[in-house]
């Protein structure tokens, strides 16, 4: 039995004992004696008799144990031409001071603080200061639409909102304050105080009644100590899109988060304290919570906070510059970032301009990684490239090639095997376990490991019905796929992206693999659109590599032929169009559902997380040319 298999078996057979042993590696104000309490499943409780503080484990413990002068955060902002490094001691002191400011405004254990900020050190300071007080933070993407922000204000009812005057994109400045003011006006809940950090690129006008300048908020306040909380107390609420239009407030507990995230830093990412770790994400996304802020700091690493893009700030070598300059050991980003780099620099020539000798591994997640992107990264970086699968709800990866346990062979198209703690299975529509290789719903046997979500804020019934009702005893991931004979999991599509063509269930992910393998294609998306005769038909949209001079009609014919050859005539793949851009969320996910609604000429709502709303008009125009979107 391999080292990985032995560890996975231990975690599956004896979850309480397995995780209770791992929990000893953290600082507890009161050490737990119980692993997991499943008496109220699916509302399971990890380390229910323990007391802990997340901020203490992220900062104070390292200051006290010899890492005071080590860099905790490296802030790199090409959009403002700013660089700043904060040591663990400096960060601890700034966090304690800001926590004192929050405390002076009445924030205490259990209160909520909503954070609406760009990618700047003060955002991390606000998060950790909230956790220091035992309060609950809810981070919302900076620049989020006012009405969506208002919905979140009403749901979590924050005592204080922490914001900044603006966010900065490569070609524009986004004023946050008007959006924040409108959201506060729209919300039914009355927010007592808004703390605003003024950025020099855009100074906001503050109202005398509610607003407080960041620096004035921390003037003449005593730094706050860490407040111990129950392991089961919430650490944060993070809102994710819901099928009903009402966002779901995913709740993460404190003890489980500390234990799991610290453990993953060594076992999955193979980092040691002192290593430089970079998650090129946003703090408004779950990856930002887990691996820009908490995971690296729990483990005593240096975390990179990057305010820029993979291309355009200034070029497609931006990531290589950061890796080289700060001696980054591990990069975690979305496949869409690499597709953007590959589109502009398909031969990877810019990589040669930088010293990549300290770089050891690349991890990809957020969108399914197509084999072509995986192979491109492997070829040009010459390091292990790990596609791993996880969700906002899980908080850390369900499946991964755990480099810190045992490096396994890479199979393109698979995020490898289930991480110890996750018992992943495939069930058919009747809830019976599918045969190896057969497609079905990907589920996880209860109990979920520590650090996964424990409920939905103000919606326990929805938590149970949305995730645990269809397959009793299992968590329904909402993803579809299969497991091969070697235990490798293949996540082929969201369950609602498995399309039914004349009675044949087909994966859009498999079709996307075919399109992405074409040498001229940089990125693609396939969705199922309504068809009176066959129920659904696949529709493909593709972006071409920069500099591609071939006739678009010829490329489209190539792609239709390729899908017919690789998937078969059963796919009935006849519609594909070249587009300049695809609509994406700010975390890099392609908005397939929205495009499907446009193609079907059905009602749809502007997604709150969309990066650039203007792209949807371009998509509608392209769909019109194919005979969709305007059909009656």
For the segment 470-485, what is each residue's pLDDT rounded down to a tens digit? 999 999 999 999 999 9
- Reduced to 3 states, what is the DSSP secondary structure of residue 467? helix
* CA gap 175, 165 in Å, rounded: 6
CA angle 285, 481, 626 (to 5 degrees): 80
| Least confident piece of the model among 353-367, 390-404, 607-621 | 607-621
Question: For residues 457-467, b (16+ Cβ closer than 10 Å) or e, as one string?
Answer: bebeebbeebb
Q: Give the separation between CA 550 and CA 341, rounded to whole angstroms.
A: 21
Spatial neighbors of 411 by CB under 8 A, at least 6 apart, are: 484, 488
Per-residue pLDDT, 530 = 85
Residue 68 DSSP label: T
Total residue length of the chain = 632
Res 629: pLDDT: 72
Weakest-pLDDT range from 28-32, 215-219, 512-516: 512-516
CA dist 356 and 358 (Å) reads 6
Residue 206 Cα distances to 190, 200, 600, 605, angstroms: 17, 15, 45, 32
Residue-range domains of the chain with CATH: 56-65+79-227+279-307 (3.40.50.12780), 502-625 (3.30.300.30)
Least confident of 137-141, 275-279, 347-351, 498-502: 498-502
Instruction: Locate the DSSP E strands across 463-534.
Output: 474-483, 489-494, 498-501, 504-507, 521-531
Nearest to 449 by CA among 138, 54, 10: 10
Nearest Cα residue to 47 out of 80, 24, 63, 64 = 24
Question: Tens digit of pLDDT for each residue in 342-363?
Answer: 999 999 999 999 999 999 999 9
Please say if the pLDDT value at position 243 is more than 70.
Answer: no
Reported pTM: 0.86
pLDDT, tens digit, 9 for 90 and up, residues 217-226: 999 999 999 9
Average pLDDT, the chain: 93
User: Which whole number is the average pLDDT over 203-208?
Assistant: 90
Q: Binning pLDDT at 50, 70 and 90, where does residue 632 land?
A: very low
Q: Which residue has the tokens 């009656």?
A: 632
Residue-wise pLDDT for 513-543, tens only, equals 899 999 999 999 998 888 877 778 899 999 9
SS3 90: helix
- Pick from 109-123, 245-259, 369-383, 526-540 the range whose average pLDDT is largest: 109-123
In contact, 288 and 478? CB cutoff 8 Å: no
pLDDT of residue 503: 61
**pLDDT band at residue 495 under the 50/70/90 scheme:** low
């Amino acid at each position: 039995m391999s080292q990985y298999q032995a560890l996975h078996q231990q975690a599956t057979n004896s979850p309480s004992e397995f995780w209770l042993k791992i929990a000893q590696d953290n600082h507890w104000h009161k050490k737990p004696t119980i692993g997991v309490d499943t008496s109220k499943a699916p509302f399971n409780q990890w380390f229910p008799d323990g007391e802990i503080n997340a901020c203490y484990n992220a900062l104070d413990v390292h200051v006290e144990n010899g890492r005071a002068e080590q860099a905790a955060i490296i802030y790199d902002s090409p959009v403002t031409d700013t660089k700043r490094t904060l040591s663990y001691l400096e960060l601890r002191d700034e966090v304690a001071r800001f926590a004192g400011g929050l405390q002076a405004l009445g924030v205490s254990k259990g209160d909520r603080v909503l954070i609406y900020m760009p990618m700047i050190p003060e955002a991390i300071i606000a998060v950790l200061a909230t956790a220091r007080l035992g309060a609950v933070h809810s981070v919302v993407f900076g620049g989020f639409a006012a009405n969506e922000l208002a919905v979140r204000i009403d749901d979590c009812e924050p005592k204080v909102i922490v914001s900044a005057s603006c966010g900065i994109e490569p070609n524009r400045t986004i004023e946050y304050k008007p959006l924040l003011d409108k959201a506060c006006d729209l919300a039914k809940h009355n927010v007592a105080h808004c703390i605003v950090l003024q950025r020099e690129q855009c100074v906001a006008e503050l109202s005398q009644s509610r607003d407080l300048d960041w620096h004035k908020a921390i003037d003449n306040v005593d730094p706050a100590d860490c407040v111990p909380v129950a392991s089961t107390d919430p650490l944060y609420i993070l809102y994710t899109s819901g099928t009903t239009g009402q966002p779901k407030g995913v709740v993460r507990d404190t003890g489980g988060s500390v234990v799991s995230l610290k453990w993953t830093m060594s076992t999955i990412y193979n980092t040691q304290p002192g290593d430089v770790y970079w998650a090129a994400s946003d703090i408004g996304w779950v990856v930002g919570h887990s691996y820009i802020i908490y995971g690296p700091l729990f483990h005593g690493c240096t975390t990179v906070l990057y305010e820029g893009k993979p291309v355009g700030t200034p070029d497609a070598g931006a990531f290589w510059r950061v890796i080289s300059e700060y001696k980054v050991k591990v990069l975690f980003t979305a496949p869409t970032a690499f597709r953007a780099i590959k589109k502009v620099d398909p031969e990877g020539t810019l990589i040669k301009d930088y010293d990549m000798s300290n770089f050891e591994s690349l991890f990809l997640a957020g969108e399914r990684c197509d084999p072509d992107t995986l192979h491109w990264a492997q070829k040009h970086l010459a390091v292990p490239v790990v596609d791993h699968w996880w969700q906002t709800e899980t908080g850390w990866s369900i499946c991964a090639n755990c480099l810190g346990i045992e490096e396994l062979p890479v199979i393109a198209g698979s995020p490898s095997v289930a991480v110890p703690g996750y018992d992943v299975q495939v069930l058919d529509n009747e809830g019976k376990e599918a045969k190896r290789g057969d497609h079905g719903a990907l589920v996880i046997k209860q109990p979920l490991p520590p650090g996964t979500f424990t409920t939905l804020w103000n919606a326990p019934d929805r938590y149970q019905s949305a995730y645990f009702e269809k397959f009793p005893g299992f968590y329904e991931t909402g993803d579809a796929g299969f497991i091969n004979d070697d235990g490798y999991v293949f996540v082929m599509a969201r369950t609602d992206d498995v399309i039914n063509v004349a009675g044949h269930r087909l994966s859009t992910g498999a079709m996307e693999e075919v399109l992405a393998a074409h040498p001229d294609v940089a990125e693609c998306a396939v969705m199922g659109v309504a068809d009176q005769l066959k129920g659904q038909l696949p529709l493909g949209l593709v972006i071409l590599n920069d500099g591609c001079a071939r006739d678009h009609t010829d490329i489209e014919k190539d792609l239709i032929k390729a899908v017919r050859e690789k998937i078969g005539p059963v796919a009935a793949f006849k519609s594909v169009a070249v587009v300049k851009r695809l609509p994406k969320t700010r975390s890099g996910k392609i908005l397939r559902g929205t495009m499907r609604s446009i193609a079907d000429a059905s009602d749809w709502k502007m997604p709150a997380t969309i990066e650039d709303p203007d792209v949807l008009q371009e998509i509608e125009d392209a769909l019109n040319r194919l005979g969709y979107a305007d059909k009656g």
